[in-house]
A = this chain, B = another copy of it.
Amino acid sequence: MATLRSLYSSDHADRPEFNTNFNTVAPYQAIILTIRSVDYVVHYQIPPEEATQAEASFVQLVEALTGVGLATEVRRGDDSSLLIFVKIASEDLLKQQIYRYRVQDWLYGVRTSAPNKDLSSYFEDEPVIEAEKLRLVYLLITKPRNEGGAGVTPKTGQWKYVKSVFPLHNHTFNRHLIKQLSTKYFIEESDINDIRDKFGEKIAFYFAFMQAYFSFLVFPAAFGFGAWLILGQFSWFYAIVNCLWSVVFFEYWKKKEVDLAVQWGVRGVSRIQHPRTQFQFEREAQDPVTGEIVKVYPPLKRLQRQLLQLPFAIICLLVLGSLIITCFSIEIFISEVYNGPFKQYLVFLPTVLLTVFMPALTTILTNLAEKLTVLENYETQDSHQAAFVQKMFVINFITSYLPIILTAFVYVPFGKVLVPYLDVFHVTAQHFTKDGKIAIQPFEVNPDRLKKQIIYFTVTAQVVNFLLESVVPIIKRRVFKAVKEAQTDMTHKNVQPQHKDHEEEAAFLQRVRNEAELDEYDVTVDYREMVVQFGYLSLFSVIWPLTGCSFLVNNWIEARSDAMKIAINSQRPIPWRADSIGPWLTSLGFLSWLGSLTSAAIVFMFNRDPYGPDGLPANIKGWALLLSILFAEHIYLLIQIVVRYVIGNMDSPGLQKERAERFAMRKLHLQETLGESLAESAAGANFTGPEKITREALEEEARRASISGSKQEAPEQLFWQRQRGAAETIQIGRGYMSEAVAAAAANKTKAQ
């Protein structure tokens, strides 16, 4: 059996089943090549107890698919499923589809120029890339019938037996990509362009973001290392540099993002929205502009429902907050107050509690967030996704940062005041001991706790997360597979299958069956991880300046493991387009801004000479703390304006490309409207070529005026006829002038 793990080891590299998606033609016919391969595989489930419905639905499925011009082949999947292979049936259809979507892009302003009407030469000039083709075929499969698609939406309604619709991995490329990434320090533009060609812009944007973030991390890593050596903790200088860095990074990325979108020809693509099929409309109305029937959901009603986000955030804060506070208190009590028996085991109690309850609560709240987002009833997939991400950010913010905020702003300054209240644990614990007495030690605020916590979140948690993300799924899948195979073996012992795979296809089908079992890849999970990480750097790295170093190492691995995840642990993603990292941009900006506040507060509270007798900050003046926060925040905002202005004034390849395209477009249109020679001078910003009609026109005009003047001698006509042509005007003007000079001279003599 070909396990997927073994796929990329070199001894399997020459196995043909990984090198083909059943393209039938030699590669020199590029356009032909793209249409003969397997485009998508529909994984079709047959529950034995619903065999009749499943069969009826299967017939409809194949008819729907062939009805929109797709070719189908069916093969056996595992015991209770079929694999339906789909490819676009004709080259003409593909060309037509692609041409149409490109025209649409142009109409929406995504492309600068309209596609050429001469199809054959057009596709030679602008060939079809793999991602584009796969996207269009997917749309053809899933779009509603009234919009010209087959209307196949996996797992819903009529198509509930369709488990998934996925494209097949291009393993030659995957192997090449992973080899490329693993052998260099920095991901290069060309790698990202490759990713874009195969997996679409949405995923390419993630890798481009990773690349930019990783490159930028070099600075805080180096500077942080220096600061750690020289400045120590809680340095205001480090805090300022760190804030400045986060502003520069944020503004840089905002520009870079636009730039990439322009380079990839997807700028403004978010305007072309994919409608959400689950959208519930309240009434249908005629659009006053277009006369079309549009589905309307009152925005005010949506706004009301969006306001539910406020109670949602409060609930999250209460639920997760109380769990965190409880565990935190128990931990402090056990590690710093309690001194009785089993202390060495009891210290793990909070960790156990957190590990058990946190995922459960997070899952519940995530479900709630999903329900809330569905309730808000968005019309498009993008806005739905953005609203969900926003809610998830609240949950992530609390789980990731609340513990540190508690330590920094509650435990350290108010520890002495609050810890006596932890006696409640003391009392509880006494119930469980025989003599009703528990040894306790006097409480001291532990100033190292903050640093330890940061190290935990920025090193330990990152490693754990990496393992959970990349190693655990592989183990999980292996175990499941082993179980399943055992079952299949048992079954096959009894009933011999009538059909065996065709010998020459067997290996290929085996590979497809494996891919069918994989999970879908969700890029938001990876974005979330990076944004949360950026938050640690921006909010708290002043506590432990080595944070940047840790993240630098982590992210090198992360980028590679994410590529591996896509290539090996997931089905090939649908290559969607995007023109930005979307809602995460707002989160980044928010964290960068919040960093200015927390850094200022932490530096002010912890970086003080007059330490108390216990080595802790003492004597903190409220007004001074608030003033420093206020000050830091406004300096931050000011710096942001300056940095934005400076970065906004820089040129970039994307902007150059856009300018070049616009210039070419202008020149072309001007040639069409104004003729060759003028267009040359006019394509620039200012064009008002001198006219040939000047004096002749003037005389003609005067002649015409005198003709009409003979009919009626109005003063208006006389006015313009007094001086005919420039010569007369000059002559008369000169007369006036000499007159004025003479008068002035006479006046002067008189005065003397």
A491–B746 CA distance with the chains assembled, in angstroms: 9
A270 to chain B, nearest CB (A): 13
Residues of B within 8 A of A717 (CB): 24
A502–B716 CA distance with the chains assembled, in angstroms: 12
Residues of B within 8 A of A140 (CB): 688
Known contacts A691-B96, A720-B36, A743-B495, A66 near B698 by CB under 8 Å: yes
A729, B54: Cβ atoms closer than 8 Å: no
Extra 10 A-B pairs, beta carbons < 8 Å, given A97-B688, A505-B718 = A62-B733, A72-B726, A89-B694, A90-B701, A93-B693, A491-B743, A497-B743, A499-B736, A508-B719, A629-B630
Known contacts A292-B684, A626-B630, A691 near B69 by CB under 8 Å: yes
Q: Does A51 contact B (CB under 8 A)?
A: yes
A732–B82 CA distance with the chains assembled, in angstroms: 11
B147, A24: Cβ atoms closer than 8 Å: no
B504, A718: Cβ atoms closer than 8 Å: yes
Classify chain A's interface size. Answer: 35 or more
A73, B720: Cβ atoms closer than 8 Å: yes
Within 8 A of B (CB), among A630-657: 630, 646, 649-650, 656
A353–B625 CA distance with the chains assembled, in angstroms: 41
B114, A82: Cβ atoms closer than 8 Å: no
Known contacts A289-B663, A737-B58, A74 near B747 by CB under 8 Å: no
A289–B656 CA distance with the chains assembled, in angstroms: 7
Number of copies: 2
B694, A66: Cβ atoms closer than 8 Å: yes
Known contacts A143-B688, A687-B147, A694-B67, A73 near B719 by CB under 8 Å: yes
Residues of B within 8 A of A502 (CB): 718, 722
Residues of B within 8 A of A322 (CB): none
A746, B494: Cβ atoms closer than 8 Å: yes
Residues of B within 8 A of A87 (CB): 720
Indicate which residue in B54, B85, B747 contacts A737 across the interface (CB closer than 8 Å): B54
B63, A726: Cβ atoms closer than 8 Å: yes
Fill in one digit per residue for A472-497: 1 if any B CB lies within 8 Å of its CB, else 0. 00000000000000000011001101
Known contacts A46-B737, A698-B89, A733-B74, A103 near B24 by CB under 8 Å: no
Residues of B within 8 A of A275 (CB): 685-686
A147–B623 CA distance with the chains assembled, in angstroms: 62
Count chain B CB atoms within 10 A of each CB in A74, A288, A660, A708 and give the residue with the most: A74
